[in-house]
Amino acid sequence: MATIKSNSLFHFTPKEEYLLDILENGFWPRYCSEDIEWLIPKDFKNELEKQEEDNFWETLTKELIKYNISSIAYPMSCFCDIPLSKITAHTDFYGGFGLGMTKEWGIRKRLNPIFYLSDNSIIPNLIQSFLLKTAPIDFWKSIQSEKTNQNTIIQLMKFLKPLRGKMKVNGKEVTKNFDEECEWRYAPASDENNLFPNFLPNFLANNNEELQDSNIVTKKVASLNFEPSDIKYIFVPEDSNIPTIINKINTIFTNHPEHERLLLLSKVISLDTIRKDF
């Protein structure tokens, strides 16, 4: 019986240099902007002007507007468990260089599948209620603190996505069916020395300089490492890319036993081959 999920966790990137950096230094949790407009019910936005007195949704909306919150950025490394036979659409979107890791490694490293939310799901309502009822007026300021209950919700929100939402690709906003990505995610909490925050609000998340500074910190304190034996596949777009990757692997893993390097080299495969044979 054909499986509907892969037994591997795949991570794809658009550039060869990014793949080589992962092989040498591990996965680098980077701040990625997430659409959180699901916090406000769609029908409420149309009804807001009709309300004659403050209520729950109006107060929450005012807080979101006050701090210009429509998206926030979390530090994360993203993977998927789409079967290889159906991976083409995913790689066309995210890039043709990548790694396939064992699921055992992912579970050991505390990766978790994303929980996708429908418009009428009870989960958004529960989070909305918790944020408003337990936080002070300026809850978007206090929520950064590791000592507040709100931090627990932020940790949960890192693993929640709407079924459909917006994301930025090369500076352009696109709408995407997120549940098709079968995403698993590594999303570290703020480190114990508070060198990097749990999230960046969108006025910082849209600032390239701020993101670059924050990502430099996450690379220092939150890299996701692995052993060669944790790798099942090394992907390149075309067969012509394979010799370069093989040469780089021999350089990066020069201190590993020869049998480990040879086994790793055998795992290099092109997406062109997969498209033709799977």
Q: What is the pLDDT of residues 105-132, one digit of tens each?
A: 999 999 999 999 887 778 877 776 666 5
pLDDT at 53 over 80: no
DSSP states along 74-118 = EEEEEEE---GGG-HHHHHHH-SEEEEEEHHHHHHTT-EEPEEE-
Number of separate helices (H) and strands (E) present in the chain: 13, 13
Q: What mean pLDDT comes out for the span 172-189?
A: 90
For range 160-178, the mean pLDDT: 84
Query: Residue 31: its pLDDT value, please?
Result: 86
Number of domains in the chain: 1
- 145 located within any domain: no
The pLDDT of residue 4 is above 60: yes
Structure tokens at 177: 């069916």
Range of 204's domain? Answer: 8-35+74-120+152-277
Provide mean pLDDT across the span 49-54: 50
Is 93 inside any structural domain? yes
**Given this model, what pLDDT does residue 135 score?**
52
Lookup result for tokens 């919150």: 69
Q: Mean pLDDT across the stretch 129-139?
A: 56
| Inside any domain, residue 23 | yes
Q: Per the domain annotation, does 147 fall within a domain?
A: no
Label residue 203 by pLDDT band (50, 70, 90): low
The mean per-residue pLDDT over the stretch 207-218 comes to 75
What is the pLDDT, as a whole number, of residue 1? 47
Q: Exposure pattern of 91-101 as b/e (b: 16+ CB <10 Å)? A: beebbbbbbbb
Q: With bands split at pLDDT 50, 70 and 90, how would you rate the model's confidence at 133? A: low
Whether residue 83 is contained in a domain is answered as yes
pLDDT digits (tens, 9 = 90+) for 222-243: 789 999 999 999 999 999 999 9
Q: What pLDDT does 136 receive? A: 45
At residue 185, the pLDDT reads 96
Answer whether residue 147 shows pLDDT above 80. no
